[in-house]
Copies of this chain bind each other. A is one copy, B any other.
Amino acid sequence: MAEEKKIPYKIYLEESEMPQKWYNVRADMKNKPAPLLNPGTHQPMTAEELGGVFCEDLVAQELDNENQYIDIPQEIRDFYKMYRPAPLVRAYCLEEKLQTPAKIYYKFEGNNTSGSHKLNSAIAQAYYAKKQGLKGVTTETGAGQWGTALSMACSYLDLDCKVFMVKVSYEQKPFRREVMRVYGASVTPSPSMETEIGKKINAEHPGTTGSLGCAISEAVEVAVKNPGYRYVLGSVLNQVLLHQSIIGLETKAALDKYDIKPDIIIGCAGGGSNLGGLIAPFMGEKLRGEADYRIIAVEPASCPSFTRGKYAYDFCDTGMVCPLAKMYTLGSDFIPSANHAGGLRYHGMSPVLSQLYDDGLMEAVSVEQTKVFEAAEQFARVEGILPAPESSHAIRVAIDEALKCKETGEEKTIVFGLTGTGYFDMVAYEKFHDGKMDDYIPTDEELAEYAAKLPKVD
């Protein structure tokens, strides 16, 4: 116990200890993630084809299943210094409150203005766009974390940033839109009348409040049609997981510094960007047979792609202009009920994580949103930080695992990813306090209906 006391509340790496390379987990995977397919021909997308949509260095990263480590350019490392290292926090107060023998750590990614880990990949994607001499980038955003992060990165690099924001969020969540404006981005509610696909969707569904899949289609269309522009995406893609490996690498370095070996690693999973980044180096050890960990993906019961989806090729967007990805998916038309406030609303899942899950290398659980907000509030009251609803999915399961340890008396070490803060989610917290939040869970029949519409790929 004497040794244990030396572990500070927050472990910060020194600048000299910061990772200088991203880790590419695909290099260590025996079963590689399935390739992206051309939506027309169903043939694997070539670098050339992808280059019409994505920046060229990012295409190379997207297709790279071989290189274990990839250098983080100095310019990106300089930017990282502005808000990294993120602290690895020992949740002493939560442990005390739960009266658990478990040791709980969380990697807190919310200490930057975008409020989440999204900035880690935003700066990388913006950097490569700048390096290629592009004028700007386009993207979509739902609640706005990714759009905010990209706006910050583009502002720093003096790059044009065009964001399609799901209309319902644009109207109901004006504050994140305003943060994007602080950083000089142009923000358009989607579906808009600025794109062919937007016009089509508006015509077919008058008064629609939009969806992420539709906003993606609009952003891709604008990128493809405007010289000097490319499309960037905040999750799902292999390149994003690569950039987000900074989370796991820092976490591992901080743990190693104090000879701490985690038993369980927990992350929330929407498209998989945080979870994939957090677990990367640990999964690498597992794949190489050097260590074993329980790795748990947590998803909302309202959007259960891992736990109730199909592992199949599917469209990434509504307009079906994007490549097909093989992933755990609920179907590209699936949209969780509007009363789901807890984020993580994407129908699919990172192909890398999908393959790892299919290979039995990680677990997944789904949780109901009222239970998630209960955990969020409990966490906030003892640990101080007001967590984002998304992050609180991981808190829920970390608490559940710690309570199991209380029953069994096991002193397990639990690490979870606290991806961000909930300052822009107070409407959801208000619903929760006022007892107006309920738990939507799609029926088997609903899910079967969406699954039946999956594209047929041989």
Contact = CB atoms under 8 A, between A and B. Distances in A.
Interface of A: 8-10, 12, 14-15, 81-83, 93, 111-113, 115, 152, 155-156, 174-175, 178-179, 181-184, 377, 380-386, 421, 423-424, 426-427, 429-430, 433
A184 B381 contact: yes
Nearest to A15: B8
Contacts of A112: 384-385
A208 to B, nearest CB: 25
B430 A113 contact: no
A285 B430 CA distance: 48
A377 B113 contact: no
Contact of A93 (B8, B82, B111, B382): B82
Contacts of A183: 380-381
Given A9-B81, A111-B111, A429 B380 contact: no
B113 A429 contact: no
Nearest to A376: B182
Nearest to A112: B384
A212 B40 CA distance: 64
Contacts of A15: 8-9
A341 to B, nearest CB: 13
A384 B174 contact: no
Contacts of A12: 12
A179 B383 CA distance: 14
A380 B113 contact: yes
7 tightest A-B CB contacts, nearest first: A175-B426, A423-B423, A178-B426, A9-B81, A113-B386, A155-B381, A178-B430
Contact of A424 (B10, B182, B377, B423): B423
A43 B111 CA distance: 48
Nearest to A421: B113
Nearest to A382: B156
A386 B184 contact: no
A429 B15 CA distance: 34
A115 B81 CA distance: 21
B426 A380 contact: no
